[in-house]
């Protein structure tokens, strides 16, 4: 058995022993170091770019928008973001000119000697001002995307309800702070450009290159280097770096390395979308939710990037895992002249989950009801429906999950202890925070159908096998779990299964490493591809061979087919029970969900407002656990990330985002496996995304 074992990480030894080559470890003879000259203003027309005459610019490779052979656009949902600004800029730090030099020191000096002169234009700095007519820069109203979801009819309920509560909640931008900043290299091999760097989605990068250069995909090869963290920040953003490095490489004919330092990465890269969420909730004297009207406004930044996807998930999850017959959600992602906002774990759902959980606490205060009891009375039961009309079919007992978390946190006893402590300490306060939440796994609606992902498992002549997908490992254990899934399907130890480096010249497009889809969606493809391989190795057998019999069958196959390769293949197939209406946002938004209930004990110093999380309990349904050690790591790391976000400080300096150094003691984590997952057996629910949503109310 491979699945369910806490096997060692397949990438562990190379990283622990320093053998793994991260992007900044790569070098080639005659290599150039690259840098970016950026806009000093949030919005304006470029008057000119001035190069200090004290510098000998003939030593440098200089690239601007005129050097782009194809379209000056970064290909994504909508191609509105230029690779290099041409005549105007829409956000501070927008790329304008690229420089490269053999000396990194000389490059740094030169970057300071280039000045982009801007004639400023009025800028939108808050999404509430985006609709101002004289500030329109996108479409008719600066709205990148609108989404409306409706179930029932809330208005008559609001008119008659015993209680109606209206509140507004805001969240700020959040920096990913991955350990390794963004970096990319480019070099020429034969007749194609080879791009190698830190990324989550190699095929996104490939698409961006073909678009910017006006060439077919065979003109490029994209390879992921070991990646020191991503959290969504290396989903779409590396496409920009890849185009920049490739432009300099092609113009110079020399290898190019473009590495951001931490300051540049924090200033120029995407962040979590700031949000404004307005709740209007009707409820009765017992706390039962009767109707909701929720308005979600996301700050999309200067260009669309992934804002429609973030808004989609945010609006779908806005009502939480609670029963309510009448729900209306209206969402907008709006333009501002900020650095574009992009993917960050949970993408949209953490913002709306925070607002929903705060609203639940406000309702509890109005009714003088315990916040845990209010949630227990309203949690979904089998047969209930989400805001999209999707039926809650999961076997998860949400009230029981909440009760497990409360019991592990010794909730009732601590309430009494904290009340006594608060009465005795005038400057310290202790309290308990609770959050119950859900998160859909995989792409929303028909997203997986559009992706049409593929995976292959190839056999070697010695009888070994190699998994080939475009899924990247950023520390979450992708290579390990894919080896476990293939090993389980083939009856061989996971340690004997190799996993190919994501390389567009060698692996099929299995889709991006995002949205908690790798284990569930791509894992299932790997399982099917492995079974297809076994059948192909010995098609005469009624059942596909496994274990030692499979190894012998593979060796025999290669003896009979010299010069050929034995490969098993699988392509995504939509589960027939999943139905989605994209136009009206109705139906099964996700094939399955994960659920969580967290309890945090917090201490606050009323003199300094310093906060400390003294205890933290996480109870969650996580699907089938493929590797207990990796699952535990996700729980612990995710809990720290969310606690840091929960104690975030508002930035005093524009462009600087900081979270408090938030200490946390994770005392207990409880996970349970649910049955009936439509992607079983190779399914692990979305632990990593779910954990990013646990900002306790």
The tens digit of pLDDT for each residue in 129-184 reads 999 999 999 999 999 999 999 999 999 999 999 999 999 999 999 999 999 999 99
What are the sequence ranges of the domains in the chain? 23-121+176-268, 385-444+586-697, 447-571
Exposed / middle / buried, residue 650 (Cβ in 10 Å: 0-12, 13-18, 19+): exposed
Find the DSSP H helices in 77-124. 104-111
- Fold adopted by 447-571: Aldehyde Oxidoreductase; domain 4 (3.30.365)
Question: Residue 639's pLDDT is what?
Answer: 77
What number is the average pLDDT over the span 7-25?
A: 95
Query: What is the C-alpha to C-alpha distance for residues 211 and 217, in angstroms, rounded to an integer?
Result: 9
* Residue 634 confidence (pLDDT) above 70: yes
Dist. CA 102–CA 30, nearest whole Å: 7
Summarised one tens digit per residue, pLDDT across range 184-223 is 999 999 999 999 999 999 999 999 999 999 999 999 999 9
> Residue 155 in contact with residue 359, Cβ under 8 Å?
no
CA–CA gap between residue 92 and residue 506 (Å, rounded)? 38
pLDDT at 666: 54
Same fold, 23-121+176-268 and 385-444+586-697: yes
- Mean pLDDT over all residues of the chain? 93
Rounded to two decimals, the pTM is 0.94
CATH of domain 385-444+586-697: 3.30.365.10
d(CA 580, CA 602): 41
The pLDDT value given to residue 637: 79
For residue 156, what are its two tokens?
């008559």
The CATH topology of domain 23-121+176-268 is Aldehyde Oxidoreductase; domain 4 (3.30.365)
Please count the CA atoms within 13 angstroms of the CA of 158 that sit on its side-chain side: 15
Window from 480-494, 556-570, 631-645 with minimum mean pLDDT: 631-645
Structure confidence at residue 678 as a pLDDT band (50, 70, 90): very low
Q: How many Cβ atoms are within 10 Å of 250's Cβ, its own excluded?
A: 17
Percent of the chain with pLDDT over 90: 87
pLDDT tens-place string over residues 233-289 = 999 999 999 999 999 999 999 999 999 999 999 999 999 999 999 999 999 999 999
- Write the CB contacts of 423 (distance below 8 Å, at least 6 apart in sequence): none
**Is residue 149 a contact partner of residue 329, using CB atoms and an 8 Å limit?**
yes
The answer to whether 393 touches 382, Cβ cutoff 8 Å, is yes
Binned at pLDDT 50, 70 and 90, residue 657 comes out as very low
Residue-level pLDDT at 621: 87
Confidence band, pLDDT 50/70/90 cuts, at residue 577: confident
* Residue 450: half-sphere exposure toward Cβ, Cα within 13 Å: 10
The residues that bridge with 143 in the sheet, in sequence order, are 334
pLDDT of residue 591 exceeding 80, the answer is yes
Reply yes or no on whether the pLDDT at 681 is more than 50.
no
Q: Which helix or strand (DSSP H or E) is residue 34 part of?
A: strand 32-38
- Taking residue 626's Cβ as centre, other Cβ atoms within 10 Å add up to 28
Q: What percent of the chain has pLDDT over 70?
A: 92
Find tokens 């992607």 and name the residue: 679
Q: How far apart are CA 56 and CA 58, in angstroms?
A: 6
Cβ neighbours of 584 (radius 10 Å): 12
CA dist., res. 504 & res. 381, Å (int)? 45
């Amino acid at each position: 058995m491979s699945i369910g074992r806490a096997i060692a990480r397949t990438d562990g030894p190379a990283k622990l022993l320093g053998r793994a080559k991260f992007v900044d470890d790569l070098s080639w003879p005659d290599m150039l170091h690259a840098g970016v000259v950026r806009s000093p203003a949030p919005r304006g027309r470029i008057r000119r770019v001035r190069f200090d005459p004290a510098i000998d610019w003939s030593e440098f490779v200089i690239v601007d928008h005129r050097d782009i052979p194809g379209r000056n656009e970064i290909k994504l949902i909508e191609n509105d973001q230029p690779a290099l600004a041409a005549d105007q800029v829409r956000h501070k730090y927008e790329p304008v000119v690229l420089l490269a030099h053999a000396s990194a020191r000389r490059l740094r000096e030169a970057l300071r000697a280039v000045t982009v002169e801007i004639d400023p234009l009025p800028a939108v700095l808050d999404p509430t001002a985006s609709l101002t007519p004289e500030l329109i820069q996108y479409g008719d109203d600066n709205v990148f995307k609108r989404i409306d979801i409706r179930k029932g009819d809330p208005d008559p309920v609001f008119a008659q309800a015993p209680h109606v509560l209206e509140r507004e909640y805001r969240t700020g931008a959040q920096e990913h702070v991955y350990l390794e900043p963004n970096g990319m290299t480019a070099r020429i091999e034969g007749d194609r450009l080879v791009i190698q760097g830190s990324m989550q989605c190699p095929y996104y990068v490939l698409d961006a290159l073909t678009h910017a250069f006006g060439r077919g995909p065979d003109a490029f090869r994209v390879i992921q280097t070991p990646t020191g963290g991503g959290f969504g920040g290396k989903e779409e953003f590396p496409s920009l770096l890849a185009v920049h490095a490739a432009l300099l490489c092609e113009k110079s004919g020399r290898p190019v390395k473009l590495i951001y330092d931490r300051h540049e990465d924090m200033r120029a890269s995407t962040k979590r979308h700031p949000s404004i969420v307005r709740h209007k909730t009707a409820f009765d004297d017992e706390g039962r939710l009767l109707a909701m009207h929720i308005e979600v406004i996301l700050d999309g930044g200067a260009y669309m990037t992934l804002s429609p996807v973030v808004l989609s998930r945010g609006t779908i999850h806005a009502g939480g895992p609670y029963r309510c017959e009448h729900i209306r959600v209206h969402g907008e992602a709006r333009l501002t002249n900020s650095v574009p906002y992009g993917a960050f774990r949970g993408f949209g759902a953490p913002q709306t989950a925070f607002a929903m959980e705060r609203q639940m606490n406000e309702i509890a205060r109005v009714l003088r009801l315990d916040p845990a009891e209010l949630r227990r009375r309203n949690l979904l039961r089998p047969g209930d429906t989400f805001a999209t009309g999707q039926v809650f079919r999961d076997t998860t007992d949400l009230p029981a999950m909440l009760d497990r978390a409360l019991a592990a946190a010794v909730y009732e006893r601590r309430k009494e202890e904290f009340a006594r402590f608060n009465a005795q300490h005038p400057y310290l306060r202790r309290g308990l925070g609770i959050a119950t939440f859900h998160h859909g796994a995989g792409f929303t609606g028909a997203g997986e159908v559009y992706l049409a992902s593929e995976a292959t498992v190839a056999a070697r002549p010695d009888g070994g096998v190699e998994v080939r997908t475009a899924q990247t490992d950023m520390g979450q254990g992708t290579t390990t779990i894919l080896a476990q899934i293939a090993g389980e399907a083939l009856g061989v130890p996971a340690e004997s299964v190799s996993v190919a480096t994501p390389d567009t010249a060698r692996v099929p497009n299995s889709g991006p490493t995002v949205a908690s889809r790798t284990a569930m969606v791509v894992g299932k493809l790997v399982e099917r591809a492995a079974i297809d391989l076994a059948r192909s190795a010995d098609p005469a057998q009624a059942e596909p061979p496994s274990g030692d019999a499979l190894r012998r069958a593979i060796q025999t196959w290669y003896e009979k087919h010299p010069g050929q390769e034995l490969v098993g293949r699988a392509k995504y197939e939509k589960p027939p029970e999943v139905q989605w209406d994209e136009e009206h946002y109705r139906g099964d938004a996700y094939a399955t969900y994960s659920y969580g209930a967290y309890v945090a004990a917090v201490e606050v110093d009323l003199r300094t407002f310093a906060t400390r999380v003294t205890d933290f309990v996480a109870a969650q349904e996580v699907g089938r656990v493929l590797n207990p050690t990796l699952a535990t790591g996700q729980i612990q790391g995710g809990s720290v990330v969310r606690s840091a976000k929960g104690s975030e400080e508002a930035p005093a300096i524009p462009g600087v985002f900081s979270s408090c150094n938030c200490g946390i003691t994770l005392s207990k984590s409880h996970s349970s496996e649910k049955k009936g997952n439509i992607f079983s057996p190779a399914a692990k629910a979305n632990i990593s995304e779910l954990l990013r949503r646990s900002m306790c109310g």
